[in-house]
Amino acid sequence: MSKSLTFLQLSPEFGGTKFGPFEGVEIRLGSDPQRNDITLPEALGVSPEHLKILRQQDDSYIIAPIDRTATVYIFRATGGKPKQITTPVAVISGDAFALVTEEGPRFFLLTEMAKKANLEDENLQGPGLKMPQGPRAQGIFKEIKRRGLAKALTSGVGNQAMRTWTFVKTGQLFSPMYIVAGMTMLSGYLFAGGTTCAVFSLSSGKQQAKTQLSECRDQLGVGGDVEDPNAEPTVPILTQRLLDDKSWKITLNEDTQFRQAYGQKMKLVFSQAAFYEWVYTNPESQNRYAEYKKALEAKGLEDPLVRILSYSAALPALGGASVEWGISTDSEDNEVCTRGPLQLTYRQAKNIGLFDIYLDAQVPRNVAISNDVDEQVRALRKTANMADVNPKFQNDHIEMAGLGQAVDCIYLKGEDERSDMDAIADGISRLYAGRSRTMPQIDEMNGLLARIMMYYGTDFMRGFDELKFRPVPPLTVQLDLNESGAIIEKRKKYLVEQSANLLARAAAIPCMATLDKEVQTQPPSFMGKLPGLGSCAIVKIFVDFDRL
């Protein structure tokens, strides 16, 4: 009897991505990539360990929430309304489930025979690029070598060399016709100085071959350092190539602590690749990343900074669905509400310099839906105190976000500039102009990273005004040496991890487009050319084999 395999497939409105096959008894879903088979963004309200699926011997399944606060809905294949479950429930192939809300990511359970699943997988993948796993990763380098050789042999010199080798190997060289012709030609060379010309021709051919090899290496993007193309690829060198900016090689080489955080975030971003496809597949009219990039460019910010900062709008979301409210961990290690396409906290918006912003607060759901105005006001006052403001407001203007989770967000009603990308870009521009004396020039060492850290430093409850950066030493060392003592360990950790995550998205997402066989043309919203196939393949291998 053929072995059966388990697959999980997203519904068409969420992209239809098919996960699997899963051969084990248990499948886990959650936001922690270390403990789950499928990782979903925490910003969607997914718990670190949200749900597990247990496979039975008769190919039926048991679905069970892992966390008691984890919300799960099941959809029967026979139809009917979705049902929220809090205890283990038996399901069969064809049934579906959703996380967090009824409209959340919906997965269908599929059981297929192994032979059929393998055939479908081959048909789906087609002849495009397949990233090999395990020892077969060496095939990538063999393919690169093969293409380079093919490029050289199709050049004028390479083609002539191949024809000459065939001429000798087949024995045509010893035909009487060619022997007589060769003797005549040799005599002419001997008496007319042909030997000198032959040496010159050989030297010229060698130089042409070198040029062809260099062009091939540039097209594939597999060379090493710009100054030394033969250098072995490293994370700093690869980042320099992916972002087309040599300053990142220097920054990452010098700052070991930030480089390690960047490597960890790169693995996280690649593990959530399906949630970033919208960045390079959605049209510009439905693309928050493209909209924010245009807003930053309109404010006259430098291209190298826009290239990185625009990815702060590239947050993980299925299909690029817009999310107005979310819950995140802030620089004080507290869970707080975030708002708008960049998911800014109230404190960030205030320190960036946005004008029209309205208080919000995270509260238990029972408080959010209750009429306990006093408790709601206390929560909003706490947010105000953490941002060092004391605004006046009317109690009857309190609204609920309606996240559908165990906790929810309440806020004061009003047009908040956190939802306006042009207003955010204008605030960022004014922030950098006002703090220009506290950061290196953008083309100096640490110039770009200092501006990224300054952006995330706006969430600091204390110490933001003390943020001052110099070209040397590494910024993580400068944070340890701050004179005020306000940049304590948890704030430094927040600054490093958030900055590393942004840089990882800016480097990894263009590579996802390069490695996606469905992407045939350059996404119009991307800055510069897509990174080379060779560089992206090496980065993917570094991620898969934990070499970052």
User: What domains sit in the chain, N to C, each tagged with a CATH number?
Assistant: 4-125 (2.60.200.20), 136-220 (no CATH), 246-319+422-544 (no CATH), 363-415 (no CATH)
The span from the CA of 6 to the CA of 355, in Å, is 52
At 453 the pLDDT is 97
Contacts made by residues 479-487, CB under 8 angstroms, sequence distance 24+: 486/460, 486/462, 487/460, 487/463
Query: Which residues share a beta bridge with 84?
Result: 73
The span from the CA of 76 to the CA of 13, in Å, is 18
pLDDT digits (tens, 9 = 90+) for 14-38: 777 888 888 888 899 988 888 888 8
| pLDDT at position 524 over 90 | no
pLDDT digits (tens, 9 = 90+) for 465-518: 889 999 999 999 999 887 777 889 999 999 999 999 999 999 999 999 999 989
At 399 the pLDDT is 94
At 127 the pLDDT is 46
pLDDT digits (tens, 9 = 90+) for 209-249: 344 434 444 444 445 454 556 667 899 999 999 999 999 99
| pLDDT at position 330 over 70 | yes
* Summary count for the chain: helices (H), strands (E): 19, 16
Q: Is 336 or 20 the better-scoring residue by pLDDT?
A: 336
The residue among 223, 230, 266, 226 whose CA lies nearest residue 246 is 226
Q: Is 391 or 115 the better-scoring residue by pLDDT?
A: 391
Assess contact for 41 and 275: CB atoms under 8 A.
yes
| pLDDT at position 444 over 80 | yes
Assess contact for 289 and 315: CB atoms under 8 A.
no
Q: How confident is the model at residue 411 (pLDDT cuts 50, 70, 90)?
A: very high
The span from the CA of 175 to the CA of 500, in Å, is 68
3-state helix, strand, coil in the chain (%, to 5): 50, 15, 35
Q: Indicate the SS3 state at residue 39.
A: strand
Q: Is 349 or 129 the better-scoring residue by pLDDT?
A: 349
pLDDT digits (tens, 9 = 90+) for 106-158: 899 988 876 554 545 544 444 444 444 444 455 555 555 555 555 555 556 66
User: What is the rounded average pLDDT of the residues 449-470?
Assistant: 94
Q: What is the 3-state secondary structure (H, E, C) of 163-220?
A: HHHHHHHCCHHHCHHHHHHHHHHHHHHHHHCHHHHHHHHHHHHHHHHHHHHHHHHHHH
> What are the two backbone dihedrals, phi and then psi, of residue 196, each rounded to the nearest 5 degrees?
-65, -40
* H helix or E strand, kind and range, residue 19: strand 18-22
Q: How confident is the model at residue 194 (pLDDT cuts 50, 70, 90)?
A: very low
Q: Is 226 or 327 the better-scoring residue by pLDDT?
A: 327
User: What is the rounded average pLDDT of the residues 340-365?
Assistant: 96
Average pLDDT taken over every residue of the chain: 83
The span from the CA of 500 to the CA of 147, in Å, is 34
Tokens of 164: 């000459």
At 115 the pLDDT is 55
DSSP state of 456: H
The residue among 328, 324, 316 whose CA lies nearest residue 407 is 328
Write the CB contacts of 322 (distance below 8 Å, at least 6 apart in sequence). 288, 341
Peptide bond preceding 473: is omega within 30 degrees of 0, i.e. cis? yes
| pLDDT at position 197 over 50 | no
The span from the CA of 228 to the CA of 387, in Å, is 49
Phi and psi based region of residue 258 (left: phi greater than 0; alpha: psi -120 to 50; beta: remaining): alpha
Neighbouring C-beta atoms of residue 482, cutoff 10 Å: 16
At 152 the pLDDT is 57
Residues of the chain above pLDDT 90, percent: 49
Q: Indicate the SS3 state at residue 437.
A: helix
The residue among 488, 444, 434, 494 whose CA lies nearest residue 470 is 444
At 351 the pLDDT is 96
Q: Is 217 or 80 the better-scoring residue by pLDDT?
A: 80
Q: How confident is the model at residue 335 (pLDDT cuts 50, 70, 90)?
A: very high
pLDDT digits (tens, 9 = 90+) for 311-323: 999 999 867 777 8
| pLDDT at position 459 over 70 | yes
At 324 the pLDDT is 92
Q: Indicate the SS3 state at residue 491.
A: helix
Q: Is 186 or 41 the better-scoring residue by pLDDT?
A: 41
| pLDDT at position 360 over 70 | yes
Q: Specify the amino acid at residue 423.
A: A
Q: How far apart are the first and last CA of the chain?
A: 43
Tokens of 380: 């909003």
At 2 the pLDDT is 59
User: What DSSP letter does each residue of 132-157 carry, written as one string?
Assistant: --GGGGHHHHHHHHHHHHHHHHTSHH
Q: Is 157 or 435 the better-scoring residue by pLDDT?
A: 435
User: What is the rounded average pLDDT of the residues 533-542?
Assistant: 92
Q: Indicate the SS3 state at residue 462.
A: coil
Write the CB contacts of 473 (distance below 8 Å, at least 6 apart in sequence). 254
